[in-house]
Structure 1
Amino acid sequence: MDEKKLLAERFEAHRDHLRAVAYRILGSLAEAEDAVQETWLKAERADTTQVENLGGWLTTVTGRVCLDMLRSKKSRREDSLDDKPTEPVVRVHRRTDPEEEALLADSVGLALLVVLDTLSPVERLAFVLHDMFAVPFADIAPIVERSPETTQRLASRARQRVRGKSVAEDADRSRRHKAVDAFLRAAREGEFEKLLAMLAPDVKFRADEAAARLGGTALLDGARSVAENFNGQAQLARTVLLDGEAGALVAPRGKLLLVLEVRFDGDLISEITAIADSDRLAQMEVSLP
């Protein structure tokens, strides 16, 4: 048996699983079938001879395909496969049975699908792969281009929404956003005492190597040191959401220079991290609240 035919048979053994993954991420059986077919095309072109866990590898590829589909909001692919090799034979699904989709939606839960639609693409992917299919965060992180820790936070935030706690979570996020906005305003206006009042006594400021080159400070410890560092500064900083959490960015003339990740302990800011490394910046999802 030639390698491609063997790969096709092994792929078929995983097809139902891949379709289940894709359906829960995309919420459409037609799009799920397209995602699975795209996964096959990628597998066909790849060298899988050294892949020990083909099922896990295929799941990862399917997740990446689905994320691209969510981000681009493309409709179902209609590409002709006439120019593709006819061997090995792998099924191409162009139509879906409405009854089959209804049964699948019922098995997943229509309410869950509705909630999943409220999540961002990366939140949805992280939640589905980890909570529904037990994919480790370390394996999901490269797909969403985040660290494993950030990926875990994405899944946790999605889990809160799925469990019906999104209203309280959104309120907390809004409160933190307003706190960051107030902190930056106090910094710009040189209101030192206000800055102190918003900082935890043991607050820490850290800057990555690229950010330290811009500002000259890599580490500060304690409320007074951090407040002095920001007092009269932050003229170009703007409050945003970084991976769904309150933070800030500096983007003079529209060019992203650095971001500030802000962590809270209750109502007080407990940690500020300045990040200017281009690779790390490229991995972040920046949005307005």
Structure 2
Amino acid sequence: MDSAAVDRFEASRNRLASLAYRLLGSAADAEDAVQDTFLRWQATDRERIEVPEAWLTKVVTNLCLDRLRSAQARHERAAGAWLPEPLLEGDPMLGPADTFEQRESVSLAVLTLLERLSPVERAVYVLREAFSYSHAEIAGLLDIIESASQQHVHRARTRVAAERRRGGRADPAAARRVVEEFLAAAASGRTERLVALLTDDVTAVSDGAGLSSRLLRYRTRERVASYVRIGFRMTPAKRRLAGGSPAFHIAVVNGSPAVLAVVGSRVVGAVAFGIGDGKVAALYGIAATERLTRLNDAWRQYAPDAPVAHSW
């Protein structure tokens, strides 16, 4: 393959990776899909491709749909042991962020919510909201009729809007203040302080550091507060598992405020926050090592602020 063909693909690589990540929720799977797309680009008769960008988009989208439909993927996700892979602010795989819809489409809340959609509904929503494809273009990419594209995106928007109403929108500076108050409350040992910072319909979900075969889910302010207190309380067993006592940094993950637990230069856990009405509306705890690989690669190149707390 000549250098011009390679350069043309490389010019699209980040966009393709961003699309694949939104569809799959996994950076590793997204990278595999992009690499498979490159191999098909390499093997095809490129002289017959009129619009390379459209061709590449169609190939990577359908590779992602095949992966979502696969028996293994359906089993893993249906088993309830799946959360999106968190990405640190500035990661090119997060893709376009010019509009609210683009930023929202890559949040952990929306990526988790999109799991309830069919693979085609998910693809239509991502192509329309995050990449501004017309319904006619989407119909061509997915081999569906235009009215079906319109119906799919309507259903997806309805579900996302319901989540938006529950969580609301938060100014970044205000959201950080809420997280700082949350950490202070967690450190205080007083559950009532934590409860006061949670919305009435707060939810929390955790991967159990990869030690549980299912996700751990908590509802009601009291149960979520108890989960947080237990999660942030260090024990000898946790220190052995983490490799030391962590420092806690506030960062931005998938466009949302997050607390990262860092031992040395390694992130051992991430908790992303959904903020609504000046309180915590949702928590996403991810500590499985394989889900933090790309975030750790980015963290080693990151210049973080000083930690806001150390283990207590």
Q: TM-score category by the smaller chain?
A: 0.3 to 0.5
TM-score, normalising length from structure 2? 0.41
With normalisation by structure 1, the TM-score equals: 0.44
